C-alpha cells in the first residue's frame, strides 16, 4: 500500500466517524452503533471504500482497547479493587465458569468434539469491554450498583483471557510443538518471562516511572509528557505481546499501579484523545470486518448462533444477578449489557484456529457471530432504556413500594446529595422528615446509615398521602429531574393549596417553568447557584480582592442576577430564542459595568 492509499483510507475512516456518529447520536442510536454502522457502510461488503484487507487496520485499532484499559486501571486504586473483590471474584468468576460449562455442554450435545466445545465455552465467556464501558459512561450507568457489578465482571473476563490463552494450545492437535513454536520459548522460559515482566511492570511503574515523570514534568514540555505516556502504554503492550499474553491486561495492571500517582490526571488527559479516536477506529473496523458473504451463505446457522449466544449468556447472567443483587432491574441491566461476544473473542478465535482447534471455515463463522452480537448490543440497550426499564420501574412502584403511614411535619421527595443535606440539617435541629426516593439501591444504601427512607415514586399522589402529605406543613421536592419536580409540585399545589412547597431546580430556564406553573420565586432554589457564587467569591479574594470587596461584589451579583432573572422571564418562550440571547448579552455588559463602578468606589 503506497502513501496515497494510506492517506485515502485514513480520510475515509475519519470521514465515516465525523458523519455517522453525530447522526447516530442525534437519532438516539449512540456513538458505538454509529461507528459500527459507519464501518459496515464503508466496508468491502457495501461501498467498498476501504478494500477487503482491513486486518492491519483492525490490529492497529485494537490498541484503542489497550489504552482504554490503561485508563480504567488509572481510575482504580488498589483499595477500590479490594472493595470490588466480591463482585470481581464471585460474580465474575461464576459467570466465566457457568458460561463455559453451559456452552460446552450444549456444543457437545450438538455433535462437536469435546476440544472444540470447551474452546467455544471459554472463548464466549468474554463480553465487549469497549462497547459496554462506552455505553455505561455515555448513559451514566457506571455510577449505579449494577454498573459496578458489570465493570467487575468485565474486569474478571479480561483477566481470564490470560489463562485461556495458556490453556487453548492444550486442546489443539500437536499442542506441545505448536505452543513452543508460537512463542519461541518452552513453557518454563515463558512462565519465568511472564513473571519477570509482571514484576517489572508493578515495580517499575511504582518506583522507576515516578522520577521519570517528575523529570519530564519539570521540563514544562507537554508534548514530552504526552510522548512518555504513549511510550509507557506501547512499551507494556510490546512486552506482553513478546511473551504471548494480552497487551490490554499489562496496560490495565500498569494503570492500577499508577492510580495513586500524582501524575494520574495528567496521564488521563494526555491519553484520552488517543483512546477515543482509536476506540472509534476499532468499532469501525469491527463493522468493516463483518463478512456478509459468509453470513448470506450460512444465514440460518449464523443467525441461530447469534441468538443462542445472547440467550445463553443472558440467562446465566440474569440468574447470577437475581442471586447476588437486590434489585430486579439490576439483573436485567447486567444480563442484557453483557450478553454479547467481545473484542477478545476475535483474538481467542484466531489463536484457536492457529492451534488447529477450529477449521478456517468455523473460525470465519464464529467471527461473524461475535461481530453481529456486538452490533446488536446497542440496539438491545436501546430496548432496555426506552421500553424495559420504564416498565420495570412502573411495575416495581405498584408492587413493592414500602411507604407506611407517617405524620412528620416535613416530607422530602428525593434523597440524593441535595435532599440529604436538607434532611441532615433538619434532623440536627430536632425535626424529623419523611423521605421518599425512587432509587431502590439508594434507599438500601442510606438505610444502612440509619436514615428512615421509603421506596416510592413521589409522582404518585396516593404514595404521598400515605407518607403523610395531608398532615405535613412542608414538602421539599429535591429530585434530580427538574421537569418532573415541577409537575409533582403543580399536582400537589392543586390538591393541597395551603401546603408550603420548596422546589429544587437546576438552572434559570427551570425557574421560568416553575414560575409559569404557579410557584412563588422565593420557593424555587437553583441547586448550584450559592455554592458556585461562594467559589467565585473565594477566587476573587485569592486574586487580590479583600474580604469586604469580594463580599460586596457577591451581594451585588446576587441581587442583579435575581433582577435580571425576573426580567428575562418575558423573553423566554420555552427555548433560547434570539431576543433571549440578545438580552442575556446586554445583562452581562450591565453586570460588568455595575461591578466595575463598585470597584472604583470602594
Tens digits of residue pLDDT in 97-154: 999 999 999 999 999 999 999 999 999 999 988 788 878 877 777 767 778 788 888 8
Tell me, what's the pLDDT at 231? 84
Question: How far does Cα 367 stand from its chain's mean position?
Answer: 26
In this prediction, residue 419 has a pLDDT band, given cuts at 50, 70 and 90, of confident
C-alpha to C-alpha distance for 524 and 538, rounded to whole angstroms: 25
> Cα–Cα distances in Å, from 525 out to 318, 502, 511, 530?
41, 8, 8, 9
Q: Which residue has the cell 467481545?
A: 342
All domains in the chain, ordered by first residue: 3-394 (1.20.1530.20), 404-524 (3.40.50.720), 528-602 (no CATH)
Q: Positive or negative, the Cα torsion across 488, 489, 495, 499? A: positive
| Neighbour tally for 261: CB within 10 Å | 17
Contacting residues for 4 by C-beta, under 8 A, at least 6 apart: none
| Neighbour tally for 248: CB within 10 Å | 28
C-alpha to C-alpha distance for 541 and 554, rounded to whole angstroms: 11
- Is the confidence at residue 185, as pLDDT, over 60? no
In this prediction, residue 301 has a pLDDT band, given cuts at 50, 70 and 90, of very high
Lowest mean pLDDT among 93-102, 153-162, 244-253, 326-335: 244-253
Please choose, from the candidates 310, 204, 226, 223, the residue with its C-alpha nearest in 3D space to the C-alpha of residue 270. Answer: 226
Tell me, what's the pLDDT at 177? 37
For residue 504, list its beta bridge partners.
Answer: 525
Contacting residues for 411 by C-beta, under 8 A, at least 6 apart: 433, 434, 435, 436, 464, 467, 468, 469, 472, 474, 475, 476
Q: What is the mean pLDDT of residues 571-589?
A: 74
Q: What is the mean pLDDT of residues 471-488?
A: 88
- Is the confidence at residue 76, as pLDDT, over 70? no
8 A C-beta contact, residue 373 and residue 341? yes
Question: How far does Cα 219 stand from its chain's mean position?
Answer: 35
In this prediction, residue 245 has a pLDDT band, given cuts at 50, 70 and 90, of low
8 A C-beta contact, residue 104 and residue 120? yes
Q: Please state whether the predicted TM-score (pTM) of the whole model is above 0.75.
A: no
Q: Across 26-30, 391-395, 489-493, 566-570, which has the greatest mean pLDDT?
A: 489-493
Rg (CA), the chain: 29
Crossing angle for the helix pair 389-400 and 328-337, to the nearest 10 degrees: 160
Please choose, from the candidates 252, 81, 233, the residue with its C-alpha nearest in 3D space to the C-alpha of residue 161. Answer: 252
> Cα–Cα distances in Å, from 169 out to 166, 191, 284, 423?
7, 15, 31, 61
Q: What is the mean pLDDT of residues 188-213?
A: 74
8 A C-beta contact, residue 65 and residue 279? yes
Tell me, what's the pLDDT at 522? 87
DSSP 460: -
Q: Provide the mean pLDDT of the chain.
A: 79
Helix segments in 401-528, DSSP class H? 417-428, 440-447, 461-466, 482-495, 508-516
- Is the confidence at residue 529, as pLDDT, over 90? no
C-alpha to C-alpha distance for 173 and 290, rounded to whole angstroms: 28
Tell me, what's the pLDDT at 96? 92
DSSP 502: E
Tell me, what's the pLDDT at 225? 78
- Stated as kind and residue range, the H or E segment containing 196 is helix 187-203
Amino acid at each position: 500500500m503506497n502513501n496515497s492509499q494510506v492517506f485515502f483510507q485514513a480520510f475515509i475512516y475519519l470521514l465515516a466517524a465525523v458523519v455517522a456518529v453525530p447522526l447516530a447520536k442525534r437519532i438516539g442510536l449512540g456513538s458505538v452503533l454509529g461507528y459500527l454502522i459507519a464501518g459496515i457502510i464503508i466496508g468491502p461488503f457495501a461501498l467498498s471504500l476501504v478494500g477487503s484487507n482491513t486486518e492491519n487496520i483492525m490490529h492497529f485499532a485494537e490498541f484503542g482497547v489497550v489504552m482504554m484499559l490503561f485508563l480504567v486501571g488509572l481510575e482504580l486504586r488498589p483499595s477500590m479493587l479490594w472493595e470490588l473483590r466480591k463482585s470481581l471474584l464471585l460474580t465474575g468468576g461464576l459467570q466465566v465458569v457457568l458460561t463455559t460449562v453451559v456452552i460446552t455442554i450444549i456444543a457437545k450435545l450438538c455433535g462437536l468434539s469435546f476440544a472444540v466445545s470447551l474452546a467455544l465455552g471459554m472463548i464466549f465467556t468474554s463480553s465487549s469491554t469497549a462497547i459496554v464501558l462506552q455505553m455505561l459512561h455515555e448513559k451514566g450507568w457506571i455510577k449505579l450498583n449494577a454498573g459496578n457489578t458489570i465493570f467487575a465482571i468485565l474486569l474478571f473476563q479480561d483477566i481470564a483471557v490470560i489463562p485461556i490463552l495458556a490453556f487453548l494450545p492444550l486442546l489443539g492437535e500437536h499442542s506441545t510443538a505448536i505452543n513452543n513454536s508460537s512463542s519461541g520459548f518452552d513453557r518454563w522460559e515463558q512462565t519465568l518471562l511472564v513473571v519477570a515482566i509482571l514484576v517489572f511492570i508493578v515495580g517499575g511503574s511504582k518506583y522507576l516511572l515516578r522520577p521519570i515523570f517528575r523529570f519530564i514534568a519539570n521540563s514544562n514540555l507537554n508534548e514530552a509528557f504526552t510522548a512518555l505516556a504513549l511510550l509507557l502504554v506501547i512499551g507494556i503492550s510490546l512486552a506482553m505481546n513478546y511473551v504471548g499474553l494480552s497487551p490490554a491486561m499489562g496496560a490495565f495492571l500498569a494503570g492500577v499501579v499508577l492510580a495513586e500517582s500524582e501524575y494520574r490526571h495528567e496521564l488521563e488527559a494526555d491519553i484520552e484523545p488517543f483512546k477515543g479516536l482509536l476506540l472509534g477506529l476499532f468499532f469501525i473496523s469491527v463493522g468493516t470486518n463483518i463478512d456478509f458473504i459468509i453470513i448470506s451463505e450460512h444465514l440460518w446457522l449464523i443467525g441461530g448462533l447469534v441468538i443462542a449466544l445472547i440467550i445463553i449468556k443472558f440467562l446465566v447472567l440474569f440468574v447470577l444477578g437475581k442471586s447476588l443483587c437486590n434489585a430486579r432491574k439490576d439483573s436485567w441491566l447486567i444480563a442484557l449489557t453483557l450478553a454479547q461476544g467481545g473484542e477478545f473473542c476475535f483474538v481467542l478465535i484466531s489463536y484457536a484456529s492457529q492451534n488447529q482447534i477450529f477449521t478456517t471455515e468455523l473460525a470465519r463463522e464464529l467471527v461473524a457471530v461475535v461481530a453481529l452480537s456486538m452490533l446488536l448490543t446497542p440496539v438491545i440497550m436501546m430496548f432496555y432504556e426506552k421500553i424495559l426499564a420504564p416498565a420495570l420501574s412502573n411495575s416495581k412502584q405498584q408492587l413493592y413500594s414500602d411507604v407506611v403511614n407517617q405524620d412528620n411535619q416535613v416530607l422530602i421527595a428525593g434523597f440524593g446529595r441535595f435532599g440529604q443535606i436538607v434532611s441532615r440539617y433538619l434532623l440536627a435541629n430536632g425535626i424529623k422528615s419523611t423521605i421518599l426516593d425512587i432509587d431502590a439501591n439508594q434507599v438500601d444504601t442510606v438505610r444502612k446509615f440509619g436514615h428512615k427512607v421509603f421506596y416510592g415514586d413521589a409522582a404518585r399522589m396516593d404514595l404521598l398521602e400515605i407518607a403523610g402529605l395531608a398532615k405535613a406543613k412542608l414538602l421539599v421536592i429535591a429530585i434530580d429531574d427538574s421537569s418532573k419536580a415541577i409537575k409533582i409540585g403543580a399536582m400537589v399545589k392543586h390538591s393541597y393549596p395551603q401546603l408550603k412547597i420548596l422546589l429544587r431546580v437546576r438552572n434559570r430556564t427551570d425557574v421560568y417553568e416553575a414560575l409559569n406553573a404557579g410557584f412563588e420565586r422565593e420557593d424555587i432554589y437553583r441547586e448550584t447557584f450559592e455554592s458556585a457564587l461562594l467559589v467565585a467569591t473565594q477566587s476573587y479574594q485569592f486574586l487580590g480582592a479583600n474580604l469586604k470587596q469580594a463580599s460586596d461584589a457577591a451581594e451585588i451579583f446576587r441581587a442583579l442576577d435575581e433582577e435580571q432573572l425576573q426580567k428575562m422571564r418575558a423573553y423566554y418562550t420555552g427555548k433560547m430564542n434570539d431576543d433571549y440571547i440578545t438580552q442575556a448579552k446586554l445583562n452581562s455588559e450591565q453586570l460588568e459595568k455595575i461591578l466595575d463602578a463598585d470597584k472604583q468606589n470602594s
